[in-house]
């Protein structure tokens, strides 16, 4: 009977001891001054063909680990590696963690890089790159030290690949990693976030985009053949909030009314009172009359495959099409597509052609009512 009581007391003591140890672990607190690092809206890379990467931002935060008793203060970061030095920030970017200013129980220490839990530090310094797959721990005289509290500074630098920010639709980048205090059972998630939006470009036409031929007399028009009206000119400009590659095309707002068969570069002048086609017009671009930013010379390049392939850039005049993309580059003969441009300006030459008067109903005034919308295509 006495033996049973002794065993009961021992069992109770063991349970109490286990509960106390679990409670100590629960009381450890791992905190980050920020758990979400928002890099905001990414700045755009200036040139479409620029090599390398662009730093998109740096963020700093504080980390503290506090326990009621002396503990192993080692930390491991669980995140997807992009390379031996950096971590993955979506498929088009990466980031680096750097730790510094470590203080254990009120005393400054160096930090060591750990290849695994319980391993000696492979490297130690006051400022240390936190490499993917490695842990960090406070170090004195080359040896890992334990303690009740750890405080340090964490710097996060993020980069984007060249061209990563050239998007057609708004995109949100997000990546997460877990800071794991393995000896305490505590962990905190760290999230990186950034937003990429397409460049905003505003096209402008002189005279509000209106080409006015005034009042034409029937005597000025040919009876049995088309009449080519004098060429008119509009000034055209595109202003973007940042340099970006783009192209233009034009929608026919009088679709189906153009004379002369099917041609994506001809736009209708509308129908007369009895439904006859009045004529057509073209909008011609001469690259020699265009300028952009600090580029010395512009050449035009076009694509009939929605930007998948581009023509060899040249200085030849070309009409704007309804389906083809028309862009500019500063390299003659280049077939890689338009370069990034922030400000573009030049002249558009409008050529209008009226159908033979014998094909029109002239009992009432016939209004040349062509209309088209120039569209910016972000590449």
Q: What structural domains and CATH numbers belong to the chain? A: 29-196 (2.60.40), 201-378 (2.60.40)
Question: How would residue 26 be classed by pLDDT, with cut points 50, 70 and 90?
Answer: low
- The distance from CA 365 to its chain's CA centroid, rounded to whole angstroms, is 52
Give residue 98's pLDDT.
97
Q: Which of 18-32, 121-135, 147-161, 323-337 has the lowest mean pLDDT?
A: 18-32
Nearest 5°: the CA angle 49, 54, 59 is: 165
> Per-residue pLDDT for 203 more than 80?
yes
Give Cα 109 to chain centroid, integer Å.
Answer: 40
- Rounded to 5 degrees, what angle do the CA atoms 173, 178, 182 make? 170
| pLDDT tens, position by position, 206-248 | 999 999 999 999 999 999 999 999 999 999 999 998 888 999 9
d(CA 337, CA 310): 6
Task: State residue 43's pLDDT score.
Answer: 56
Where does 253-278 show beta strands of DSSP type E?
Answer: 267-268
Looking at residue 313, its pLDDT comes to 96
| Residues whose CB falls within 8 Å of the CB of residue 237, separated by 6 or more in sequence, listed in order | 203, 204, 343, 344, 345, 346
What pLDDT, on a 0 to 100 scale, did the predictor assign at position 243?
A: 86
Asked if residues 363 and 274 have their Cβ atoms less than 8 Å apart, the reply is no
Instruction: Evaluate if residue 91 carries a pLDDT over 90.
Output: no
CA dist 208 and 51 (Å) reads: 40
Whether 18 has a pLDDT exceeding 70, the answer reads no
Q: What is the pLDDT of residue 12?
A: 35
189: Cβ contacts below 8 Å, ≥ 6 apart: 35, 176, 177, 178, 179
Look at residue 130 in the predicted model and tell me its pLDDT.
97
pLDDT above 70 coverage of the chain, percent: 89
**Whether 346 contacts 230, CB under 8 Å:** no
Rounded to whole angstroms, how far apart are CA atoms 310 and 336? 6
CA distance 101 to 109: 8
pLDDT score at 219? 92
* End-to-end C-alpha distance for the chain, whole angstroms: 88
Q: What is the pLDDT of residues 55-81, one digit of tens each?
A: 888 999 999 999 999 999 999 999 999
The reply to whether the predicted model has a pTM over 0.75 is no
Q: How far is CA 195 from the centre of its chain?
A: 7
Q: What does the pLDDT look like over 172-191, one tens digit per residue? A: 999 999 999 999 999 999 99
Q: What percent of the chain has pLDDT over 90?
A: 77
- Inter-CA distances, 343 with 27, 313, 349, Å: 60, 19, 20
d(CA 366, CA 364): 6
Question: By three-state DSSP, how is residue 10 classified?
Answer: helix
Mean pLDDT of all residues belonging to the chain:
89
pLDDT band at 44 (very low <50, low <70, confident <90, very high): low
The residue-averaged pLDDT of 331-344 equals: 95
Nearest Cα to Cα of residue 177 among 193, 196, 201, 199: 193
Tell me the C-alpha distance between 66 and 30, whole Å: 7
| pLDDT score, position 378 | 87
| Structure confidence by residue, pLDDT tens digits, 297-325 | 999 999 999 999 999 999 999 999 999 99
With a CB cutoff of 8 Å and minimum separation 6, the contacts of 18 are none
Q: Are 70 and 26 within 8 A, CB to CB?
A: no
- Which of residues 53 and 225 earns the better pLDDT score? 225
Q: Per the structure block, which two tokens stand in for 302? A: 């076009």
pLDDT at position 111: 96
Burial 213-240 (b: 16+ CB within 10 A, else e): eeeeeeeebeeeebbebeebebebebeb
């Amino acid at each position: 009977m006495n033996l049973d009581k002794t065993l009961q007391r021992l069992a109770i003591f063991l349970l109490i001891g286990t509960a106390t140890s679990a409670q100590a672990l629960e009381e450890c607190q791992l905190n980050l001054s920020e758990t979400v690092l928002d890099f905001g809206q990414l700045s755009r890379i200036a040139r479409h063909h620029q090599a390398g990467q662009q730093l998109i931002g740096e963020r700093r935060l504080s980390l503290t680990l506090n326990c009621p008793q002396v503990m192993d203060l080692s930390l491991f970061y669980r995140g997807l590696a992009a390379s031996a030095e950096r971590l993955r920030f979506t498929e088009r970017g990466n980031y680096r963690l750097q730790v510094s200013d470590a203080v254990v129980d009120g005393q400054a220490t160096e930090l060591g890089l750990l290849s695994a839990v319980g391993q000696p530090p492979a490297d130690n310094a006051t400022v240390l790159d936190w490499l993917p797959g490695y842990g960090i721990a406070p170090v004195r005289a080359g040896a890992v030290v334990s303690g009740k509290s750890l405080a340090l500074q964490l710097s996060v630098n993020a980069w984007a690949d060249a061209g990563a920010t050239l998007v057609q639709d708004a995109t949100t980048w997000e990546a997460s990693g877990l800071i794991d205090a393995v000896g305490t059972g505590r962990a905190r998630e760290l999230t990186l976030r950034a937003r990429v939006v397409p460049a905003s470009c505003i096209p402008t036409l002189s005279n509000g985009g209106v080409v006015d031929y005034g009042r034409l007399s029937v005597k000025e028009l040919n009876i049995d053949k088309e009449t080519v009206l004098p060429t008119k000119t509009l000034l055209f400009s595109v202003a973007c909030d940042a340099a970006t590659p783009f192209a233009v095309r034009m929608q026919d707002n009088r679709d189906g009314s153009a004379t002369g068969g099917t041609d994506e570069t001809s736009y209708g002048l509308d129908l007369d009172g009895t439904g006859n086609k009045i004529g057509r017009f073209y909008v011609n671009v001469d690259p020699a009359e265009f300028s952009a930013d600090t580029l010395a010379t512009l050449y035009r390049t076009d694509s009939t495959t929605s930007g998948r392939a581009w023509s060899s850039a040249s200085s030849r005049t070309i009409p704007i099409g309804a389906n083809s993309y028309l862009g500019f580059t500063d390299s003659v003969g280049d077939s890689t597509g338009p370069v990034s441009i922030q400000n573009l300006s030049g002249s558009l030459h409008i050529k209008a052609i009226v159908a033979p008067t014998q094909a029109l109903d002239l009992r009432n005034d016939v209004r040349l009512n062509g209309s088209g919308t120039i569209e910016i295509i972000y590449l």
